[in-house]
Structure 1
């Protein structure tokens, strides 16, 4: 192999390995394109003097807008758009009214011909220690310059060295001579995947220079905490940041984050548990409350997940460190200057996910001292406390104008911090001063059809609970045989609820006959016995008034009536049956009961014929060995008011649905039984998938869908679209209306500027919020043979956000996604088994 060939192979192996895994498709090189990612070292480039002149005459030019530079590769990840001919040239829609927006993105600016130079470093003799290798490289600042990034094997510089191969000589502390060979392997254009990673490394360095502390993937400011002393809580303000290649330029997306810490230590928490439950239940309660929690160790500001409790270990136990044996107590004093006062406390165990030395065994678990740990986050009990949540949201829920000001202030703080700005300057980079400006579109308000009437709703409220009162629903089966179970203490509540149900159901066109009232004693065994004794084959509905929200009582009802004896059921907690809100609660219960027996409440206009919409989601069941519950929900009629539901139990921690093929086949059979034909178009909305799993969705789940379709005969080839739905995103949009900053109205669509060039993707703001900043939902069409125009795909997606029967308003995701989530959550939280197939055609999980 020639020297040039070796350089090219190194460039391909090392220069490309940093890209995100799972790139199922990449753009094929055009004629004359280079096969590597970036210009190889054999291609003539700028000299050192030329680069110096460019940096000296810095001009602010948006990355990705260079004239004449090759764009011969795409951002790391899956490139799905190229296979879709109908959106190859444009993926933007046109319908709706234009609206001026800004977003929490800042463009990364650089000099006009900015290039990152990648060098391979070879040490003779070889140096095993990465720290030593870095020290030897940093001895040659005069030759290499101050600006450099060294990962132990590859060196990145903003300049091109005079020679393709540069020989340097160093000396270790032991006076051992070391020869360092620096070989140019790649010239990386601004949008290279390696450059994208490089930008994020520089950003991390800047965040540290701003004295922010990394916790997990985000950075927080421990020096300016928000204190809530009445609840013993502290909140660290922080930021979620990432730099990626977007539609027209490379930008930094930044959003506000908060880390909630509890003022008391884990030892204080354990002491309170012992006082509350006594010694006989202390161990069980400790395990139940602490295992799975995230704790922060104040001596190094790192977070750990508590996986176990070492009941036989105390701070006086010893462990081997290097060649010596040292106690935990002495170790924390010597290495972290942290005193431990309680010698009898047990230690916490965290299975840290990190690699051991090359060729050696993986490191053991981390042992944590409760006295030095603080719990993070909120418990379910704290979340249910109105006062705690109200006081906390005062600090964390930012209005759009406040959020925009804080983001702008953060970027300005980089400019005002000399060290941070100097770090950017030496690389020839800087951030734009203003948030990215873009244009969106507001889709038309959907008309709601309910029974024989139709009506519009208030756009900014995005709900029609008032408009639907007194109007009969589309259809509702007559509920003749049903039971209402209650405890002896809740007898009056049962009669009041029944009276309210009769009053609200008739105007809604829901025919509720008088139920059989059954009382039971206040414990699960009595409730289960009452269910078994009374519920029969002809029972249409079971309603249960629960004395409290204890999980065991709810699970008792759902396990029996969803698995053993399939009957739609409705539970309500007695404390919600207050006289002031009883009519509202009764209306909601009547609508839910009608849905669960096959009723249809309202609809919107769906122009596509023979369409089946599918929603898929997963839930991880921690109580059943961390099995994953995959749920598939599919529409059965033109108006999207009847649904088929199926659950699949999967192996531990598995996100992608193995049983998708079987579940979809069942949905297609049910659709055929319902319509006497198969759908000509299928649109699948897949929720709960991260960007790193897109490859698996395209190559695994889509393959199962296609295989399932083939089982219905070779002549059956419906048009298929698969859309990945992502809710947990950092992107935010701010509307500029009449000179003020506010949330965008529901129906706002963004499909330019901040979308990804290699994807067919768009954002929709579908719901309305009255406090804080609204969160958009990201849609990525990863597979599409339907040929639907972007306008039609966006409008259909928005229409489906109106079709969730458990809320008389627009929700954040399409209805099939929410139905699939509710089904997976019910099975994972309460049932832990597959529901009976007799319930497949009902929304029994609402």
Structure 2
């Protein structure tokens, strides 16, 4: 576990920051369910003669295989997704996430939480939540129809206009999302054929087929309510971008940075413990006032024709762009250098150029005919038995850049101006939600739409009861102190650590320009280490030239097998140098290392604080322990699992498992598994956990009695895969003959051991990207709940054993809780014990002297997977 702790220091200073920024920008901007892509690849005679490249087989999260083109060749891009296919509501990848794992019922198999899943410890607290009750809803049977267009129509607005030409047949009460039509009455025939005509005179045949009859209690009605509310958002002139809706008529302009913020909302209507409710939170979309074409022109001027292709590929691949003609977001996967808007593709059996397509479909004129096209691969699955949907080709002139670049994120002025508009306090957030729901309830057109379907929403946010768990005691050396403010960085100064091995043989690498900075850091380290009980010898000072080759050569010539630690002062925050250090010291010469950017330690007023954090990192990486919390359970193994995906860099996904080895949860076993690109569900989980169990038994001479697994990184729609696939692997590992043999060996080696029994298991899914928010009224003002606030009723799901914990304390904006869903539990722990154990583990992350948002093993697994992605080749 040497490399689990590249510290908060690294987050703000060293080379991994750039990679993190790119990962954050991709995860925030990546569409969760891409709609049918736009037009596809041209079929010119020249392009058709190109050599076809073999497709790359890619493992999806549920173990299915799909074939995706690996290069932007004409042959590889021929499969074009033209409109929606004939699929059922459960098969449509574009809307299935609205159900949020509907139908995955895990609570019913756990007898100890069937009657109640609420804890009892802690003090009660009254909270306000961003949920609004549905006061009334439809009580009639709903008829679901599938709508097919021939020839296919890509524009959802055009499909709606063509279908609604037949209001006399369909009636005035109808909901259509582009492929599925909901009506309160049944049409005369099971299959109805209609004929419409576009403005250009093109004849379109529309086939409306009855697929289902839904009673009011049907779970599919939840999707129907969400479709109605999306209709309400469109009535309020809001535009859909990706998953959420934004208001382009009320932009927040930041002209000095050429940025625009569209305010919006993320909404979902779901069944909760206290009824069906609308969950709503404020969202913001950051747009840049430049197109991809303008960005490419600037790159050509900056780098010249010779380096343009390389620079363009490096800067654009992986970015999220917005096409304003349909308000959809796409991720740039490749650049089709041999395709221009003058190329043609097949649409409805006829050839049409991109230039004519955008003119007829959206009324847009392409001014630059020689611009290359952008490639975005479809991520959704097509109908069963049909070929996978092909990529979309995008015109750079119509693509607007979204999100922030690494350079923007490092600009304090830009981030400060953005946070002023986007980091809302609890009072600001609730005020904006109240104002929006008031607009919904007062708008005549909206109320007419809602009353047509018998829907009515409450105008006040939900009030619920929560509990604040007792404050945990931090045990550090001879001292015990409470984590009152969720931060104990001051309390731990000058106090001996729990354990600190001597650091005798270590090296400090620096450039000539940073020689003074290196010596200042070394002197400060000696000052801060002595009070903490760390025995630090003088290191070998090694100077290297400011070149990556020189740094690598210096490491190869000086680092020996007996070296305990390597500290490298990097002159800049270039990620390639950081990756060079980590790759050599993790793969080729296993040695703990710490990277620090020279600028971070060049400020004398902050050097003491930074040096203290560096000293803590050095201690952890050579096997030291900083602090602990009291965990009363004996023989408990805690496991954290997470995956990291660097899809933009074309690398394989990394799955990481981290498991505790002692009672205090201060020593850890780690294992990584290489997976296919984009794969979240782990295939090698059984082997990784088997190694963790063997390491535990070698350390403790007995098997654990309980195993609690925290699984991070599972998104909506993947819960069933975790239950069916990963939990099964864990159970198979516990029941394996190899584990039984190890237990028998341990038993025969000591007569004091009891007969071996299989460990009891609990698997908890950890979700951070949620829209739930909770506010407390403190001293007459709406504020963030205190750390340790637990919510386990009203807004939890009735079919799940789940709860929320607010573990952090934030200085700006509104705190985001973490959602925990116990999908399997035979551990015998009461809900109160599970909640308190989870909260205790949020105190045990050694990279931060405070409480973090997720249990420490989850964060360690994430850091380990991220580190391996930096050192593992493509």
1:713 is displaced (CA, Å) by 0.8
Q: Which has the higher contact order (CA 8 A, sep 6+)?
A: 2
1:359 to 1:486, Cα distance in 2 relative to 1, 3 A: closer
| 2:679 alignment counterpart | 654
Kept in 1: contact 2:654–2:675 (CA 8 A) = yes
Q: Residues 625-683 of structure 1: CA distance to partner in whole angstroms, max 9, x if unpaired?
A: 44110111111111111111111111222111111111111111111122121111110
| 2:625 alignment counterpart | 600
Match of 2:550, SS state, is helix
1:479 to 1:214, Cα distance in 2 relative to 1, 3 A: same
1:266 is displaced (CA, Å) by 1.2
Distance 1:221 1:127 in 2: 30
Q: Structure 1 stretch 213-222 or stretch 768-777: which is displaced more?
A: 213-222
Match of 1:501, SS state, is helix
1:99-114 alignment to 2 at 5 Å?
99-110=125-136, 114=138
| 1:58 alignment counterpart | none
Kept in 2: contact 1:18–1:194 (CA 8 A) = no
1:273 to 1:206, Cα distance in 2 relative to 1, 3 A: same
Distance 1:422 1:14 in 2: 31
Could you tell me which of 577, 590, 593 is aligned with 2:615?
590
Kept in 1: contact 2:625–2:666 (CA 8 A) = yes
| 2:851 alignment counterpart | 810
Q: Which structure: larger Rg?
A: 1
| 1:677 alignment counterpart | 702
Distance 1:17 1:504 in 2: 60
Could you tell me which of 194, 208, 215 is aligned with 1:188?
215
1:398 equivalent to 2:428? Answer no
1:378 equivalent to 2:404? Answer yes
Could you tell me which of 493, 496, 504 is aligned with 2:528?
504
1:791 is displaced (CA, Å) by 0.7
| 2:586 alignment counterpart | 562
1:733 equivalent to 2:778? Answer no
Distance 2:290 2:87 in 1: 47
1:154 to 1:537, Cα distance in 2 relative to 1, 3 A: closer
Kept in 1: contact 2:106–2:800 (CA 8 A) = yes
Could you tell me which of 764, 767, 772 is aligned with 2:813?
772
Kept in 2: contact 1:220–1:238 (CA 8 A) = yes
| 1:542 alignment counterpart | 566
Distance 2:831 2:632 in 1: 15
Match of 2:611, SS state, is helix
- How many residue pairs align between the two structures? 759
| 2:490 alignment counterpart | 466
Give the alignment's Cα RMSD to 1 decimal.
3.3
Could you tell me which of 233, 249, 253 is aligned with 2:279?
253
1:91 is displaced (CA, Å) by 0.2
Q: Residues 459-499 of structure 1: CA distance to partner in whole angstroms, max 9, x if unpaired?
A: xx310000011100000111111111111111111111110
Kept in 1: contact 2:101–2:719 (CA 8 A) = no
Q: Residues 579-600 of structure 1: CA distance to partner in whole angstroms, max 9, x if unpaired?
A: 1111111100000000000000
1:324 is displaced (CA, Å) by 5.8
1:259 to 1:464, Cα distance in 2 relative to 1, 3 A: same
1:133 to 1:319, Cα distance in 2 relative to 1, 3 A: closer
Q: Structure 1 stretch 621-630 or stretch 633-642: which is displaced more?
A: 621-630
Distance 2:483 2:167 in 1: 67
Kept in 2: contact 1:558–1:831 (CA 8 A) = no
| 1:753 alignment counterpart | 794
Distance 1:325 1:137 in 2: 25
1:181 to 1:280, Cα distance in 2 relative to 1, 3 A: closer
Distance 2:177 2:286 in 1: 33
Match of 1:116, SS state, is coil
1:339 to 1:14, Cα distance in 2 relative to 1, 3 A: closer
Kept in 2: contact 1:239–1:254 (CA 8 A) = yes
Kept in 2: contact 1:95–1:791 (CA 8 A) = yes
1:363 is displaced (CA, Å) by 6.7
Distance 1:811 1:228 in 2: 32
Match of 2:676, SS state, is strand
1:699 to 1:319, Cα distance in 2 relative to 1, 3 A: closer
Could you tell me which of 414, 433, 436 is aligned with 1:388?
414
| 2:504 alignment counterpart | 480
1:523-538 alignment to 2 at 5 Å?
523-538=547-562
Q: Residues 529-580 of structure 1: CA distance to partner in whole angstroms, max 9, x if unpaired?
A: 1112111121111111111111121111111111111111111111011211
1:182 is displaced (CA, Å) by 10
Q: How high is the TM-score relative to the length of structure 1?
A: 0.84
| 1:226 alignment counterpart | 252
1:305 equivalent to 2:331? Answer yes
Could you tell me which of 111, 121, 129 is aligned with 1:85?
111
Unaligned runs of 5+ residues in structure 2 are 1-85, 198-202, 742-755
Could you tell me which of 629, 636, 653 is aligned with 2:654?
629
Match of 2:562, SS state, is coil
1:127 is displaced (CA, Å) by 9.3
Could you tell me which of 832, 839, 856 is aligned with 1:798?
839
Kept in 1: contact 2:145–2:211 (CA 8 A) = no
1:753 is displaced (CA, Å) by 0.5
Distance 1:20 1:645 in 2: 35
Match of 1:394, SS state, is helix
Distance 2:206 2:313 in 1: 55
Kept in 1: contact 2:501–2:619 (CA 8 A) = yes
1:216 is displaced (CA, Å) by 1.1
1:802 is displaced (CA, Å) by 0.4
Q: Residues 392-426 of structure 1: CA distance to partner in whole angstroms, max 9, x if unpaired?
A: 11111111000001111111111222221111101
Match of 1:692, SS state, is coil
1:713 equivalent to 2:740? Answer yes
Q: Residues 505-551 of structure 1: CA distance to partner in whole angstroms, max 9, x if unpaired?
A: 01011111111111111112111111121111211111111111111
1:434 equivalent to 2:475? Answer no
1:490-501 alignment to 2 at 5 Å?
490-501=514-525
Distance 1:179 1:518 in 2: 75
1:278 equivalent to 2:304? Answer yes
1:371 is displaced (CA, Å) by 2.1
1:784 is displaced (CA, Å) by 0.3
Distance 2:360 2:803 in 1: 54
1:234-245 alignment to 2 at 5 Å?
234-245=260-271
Kept in 1: contact 2:640–2:860 (CA 8 A) = yes
1:340 is displaced (CA, Å) by 3.1
Kept in 1: contact 2:100–2:716 (CA 8 A) = no
Match of 1:608, SS state, is coil
Kept in 2: contact 1:139–1:170 (CA 8 A) = no
Match of 1:712, SS state, is helix
1:264 is displaced (CA, Å) by 1.4
1:758 to 1:15, Cα distance in 2 relative to 1, 3 A: farther
Kept in 1: contact 2:93–2:380 (CA 8 A) = no
| 1:575 alignment counterpart | 599
| 2:229 alignment counterpart | 203
1:374 to 1:75, Cα distance in 2 relative to 1, 3 A: closer
| 2:65 alignment counterpart | none
Kept in 2: contact 1:604–1:639 (CA 8 A) = yes
1:748 is displaced (CA, Å) by 0.3
| 2:670 alignment counterpart | 645
Unaligned runs of 5+ residues in structure 1 are 1-12, 24-72, 834-846
1:816 is displaced (CA, Å) by 0.4
Distance 1:777 1:179 in 2: 46
| 2:63 alignment counterpart | none
Kept in 2: contact 1:165–1:184 (CA 8 A) = no
Match of 1:691, SS state, is coil
Q: Structure 1 stretch 323-332 or stretch 546-555: which is displaced more?
A: 323-332
1:172 to 1:634, Cα distance in 2 relative to 1, 3 A: closer
